[in-house]
Amino acid sequence: MAVDHAAAEVDHLAAERAAARFDVEAMKIAWAGSRHAVDVADRMARLVASDPVFRKDNRTMLSRKDLFKDTLRKAAHAWKRIVELRLTEEEASLLRQYVDQPGYVDLHWGMFVPAIKGQGTEEQQKKWLPLAYKFQIIGCYAQTELGHGSNVQGLETTATFDPMTDEFVIHSPTLTSSKWWPGGLGKASTHAVVYARLITEGKDYGIHGFIVQLRSLEDHSPLPGVTLGDIGGKFGSGAYNSMDNGVLRFDHVRIPRDQMLMRLSQVTREGKYVQSDVPKQLLYGTMVYVRQSIVADASKALSRAVCIAVRYSAIRKQFGSQDGGPETQVLNYRTQQSRLFPLLASAYAFRFVGDWLNWLYTDVTQKLEVKDYSTLQEAHACTAGLKAVTTSATADAIEECRKLCGGHGYLNSSGLPELFAVYVPACTYEGDNVVLLLQVARILMKTVSQLTSGKQPVGTMAYMGKVQHLMQSKCAVKTEAFEARALRMAVNCAQNIGQASNQEEGFYERSPDLLEAAVAHIQLIIVTKFIEKVHQDIPGHGVKEQLQNLCNVYALYTLHKHLGDFLATGSLTPKQGALANEQLGKLYAQVRPNAVALVDAFNYTDHYLGSVLGRYDGNVYPALYEEAWKDPLNETVVPEGYHEYLRPLLKQQLKLSRL
């Protein structure tokens, strides 16, 4: 008798859900942060999913031009709905998230507005923000140039003050000074916050921000002296090609003096440069803000990939029966579990560390308002380091999820290729991950050097103050081992640098080790914040236990993956390392019955997930089959090109065979 495999697969997810040993609804709250957060997210996700304008299943088949126009249409429609429904800022931002298509709006709200808020005076905010809030202007963040991205101090664009006219002259003196990459610049933006070297009274005062109008508000044409366009197609089909990353050159473009963002420093009518009493690093404040939001985004992207891979692994069956009986769900293979469950645990880990980072950012911002700059370094180290570690891990994890889904993972309809292509530049934008980890390493070296002077490290570096204890102790398999590993790696680097002829040379020579020391420090933060989370009061049947398991999986997996560090620094013995690995295997067995419910707790709609493999109902095979027929290649039975290229070839073969 023919078995209806499709019906059997659907039943599988129901059986998986029934087997879960915890309250999924309560876990949704633990994941989202509150009942309110679950409800708002749910409402916005459904609003987007039910609106045909937000359809995205055909995205990878659109040409670049059509994709861009589709992005403009979606952005305009989203704005219309936001205004019509009088959505709050929280609701509007979630709605944009669920539209799930990179576009100029991200940079307008994500960087242009925050740059004016952070670096503009009150007057400048009063003038520019209402225009931006109502979309009467569209803005982008124009910092990176063709020749310089990572090295902000190396930017070449100039803003020279002309006291005769009370204007700045913005100029691109070389090809390499062309602004290159800013999202939204290529086709959509009317304005930009442009970073340029401020020159007044013949002196170069370094990089400052300026609001510059680029396009006419009448017909969108570039203003005189402005040359701009899109920089061209990017990695993957669909994906980040919806974004108009742009190029921009200035030929002596004049702007009024009051368009220099003057909260941090000013130029007077006479051309005098006046430095405010705030640290100049606040110029980098917008980047700090975006880096913390990128950490929150990492858990979103990772949880999407993991949700697809877990559900599909529960559906997919291979081997296990020689006699026609049911085959084994691939989720039951130990290898599948050991590849997948650490990623599931990482999604939760990044979610909680992202929440903590958001708290830290808010706290630092409040302190800055009362001129307390004491936590600026902590904010920089944590945002830079966590951005680097979480985005690298997430990009690798999405690719691993694709492999975990076998051949079907390679299809666009799995959603994974596009998710990867959209996500992977997060390792580069907002600071190349290596460059950011070296920033963390510099702060670690500074902290180690201050230990001897008796200065007590604070915040996430406080553990370094326990130097006597951590350098000597034998550690149990818990946070202390992570602390000892991170501290010992940092101290080793500092000692090696100390032997070099000078500090800079030593830092340069030891930079590969410094990267690893920085990663160890950041992983300690992630583990610590996860542990702190599970120590909180978490309501709901079995929820705390599940989070405890995932926390242990994250910590032990990280330990297993970096066992070399733990052994080399003597933070663990080989026996402890082996025991930790044993324990990890046992934890996977505890995660297994809960895996599907743990990804259900992310509460993603099928629309947002965008994957036939990750469908909530598990009805994978009919959906895959149906999806294939939608490909433009299947619009005709005989392909275009048959008469030109296939038929003559086939006829020729026929003639040859008759010879």
Question: Residues with catalytic annotation?
Answer: 430
Site for ligand LV4UQ37V in 427-446 (CB under 6 A): 429-431, 435, 439, 443
The answer to the question of residue 150 lying near ligand LV4UQ37V (CB under 6 A) is yes
Site for ligand LV4UQ37V in 345-374 (CB under 6 A): none
Q: Is 95 exposed, middle or buried (0-12, 13-18, 19+ CB in 10 A)?
A: buried
324 annotated ligand-binding residue: no
From the list 34-42, 365-373, 433-441, 524-532, the region that binds ligand FAD by CB under 6 A is 433-441
CB of 290 to ligand LV4UQ37V, least distance (A): 5
Find the Cα–Cα–Cα–Cα dihedral 208, 213, 215, 217, rounded to 10°: 150
CB of 279 to ligand FAD, least distance (A): 21
Pattern 372-411, ligand LV4UQ37V, x by CB under 6 A: ----x---x-------------------------------
The answer to the question of residue 149 lying near ligand FAD (CB under 6 A) is yes
Q: Provide Rg for the chain, Cα atoms.
A: 27
CB of 116 to ligand FAD, least distance (A): 15
Q: Is 193 exposed, middle or buried (0-12, 13-18, 19+ CB in 10 A)?
A: buried
Closest by CA position to 143, among listed 173, 187, 183, 189: 183
Spatial distance between the Cα atoms of 566 and 560, rounded to a whole number of angstroms: 9
From the list 425-433, 498-506, 525-533, 582-590, the region that binds ligand LV4UQ37V by CB under 6 A is 425-433
The answer to the question of residue 278 lying near ligand LV4UQ37V (CB under 6 A) is no
Buried b (16+ CB within 10 A) or exposed e, 475-509: bebeebbbbbbbbbbbbbbbeebeeeeeeeebbee
Closest by CA position to 307, among listed 650, 43, 614, 603: 614
Spatial distance between the Cα atoms of 298 and 296, rounded to a whole number of angstroms: 5
Q: Which residues pair with 246 in a beta bridge?
A: 230
- CA angle in degrees (0–180, nearest 5) for 156-280-195: 30
The answer to the question of residue 143 lying near ligand FAD (CB under 6 A) is yes
Spatial distance between the Cα atoms of 69 and 71, rounded to a whole number of angstroms: 5
| Residue 240 interface partner, choices ligand LV4UQ37V, ligand FAD, none, CB cut-off 5-8 Å depending on type | ligand FAD
From the list 177-185, 290-298, 466-474, 529-537, the region that binds ligand FAD by CB under 6 A is 177-185
Closest by CA position to 164, among listed 273, 262, 269: 269
Q: Is 356 exposed, middle or buried (0-12, 13-18, 19+ CB in 10 A)?
A: buried
In contact, 539 and 25? CB cutoff 8 Å: no
Pattern 78-117, ligand FAD, x by CB under 6 A: -----------------------------x----------
120 annotated ligand-binding residue: no
Site for ligand LV4UQ37V in 559-578 (CB under 6 A): none
Spatial distance between the Cα atoms of 415 and 508, rounded to a whole number of angstroms: 41
Which residue in 58, 136, 150, 174 binds ligand FAD (CB under 6 A)?
A: 150
DSSP state of 103: -
The answer to the question of residue 138 lying near ligand LV4UQ37V (CB under 6 A) is no
Which residue in 82, 152, 231, 467 binds ligand LV4UQ37V (CB under 6 A)?
A: 152
Site for ligand FAD in 229-258 (CB under 6 A): 240, 245
Which element (helix H / strand E) includes 416? Answer: helix 416-423
Closest by CA position to 346, among listed 316, 291, 384, 309: 309
CB of 57 to ligand LV4UQ37V, least distance (A): 23
Residues annotated in a binding site for FAD? 144, 183
- Interface residues with ligand FAD (CB under 6 A)? 107, 141-144, 149-150, 181-183, 240, 245, 425, 428-432, 434-435, 438
- Interface residues with ligand LV4UQ37V (CB under 6 A)? 93, 106-107, 109-110, 141, 143-144, 150-153, 183, 281, 284, 287-288, 290, 293, 376, 380, 429-431, 435, 439, 443
Residues annotated in a binding site? 144, 183
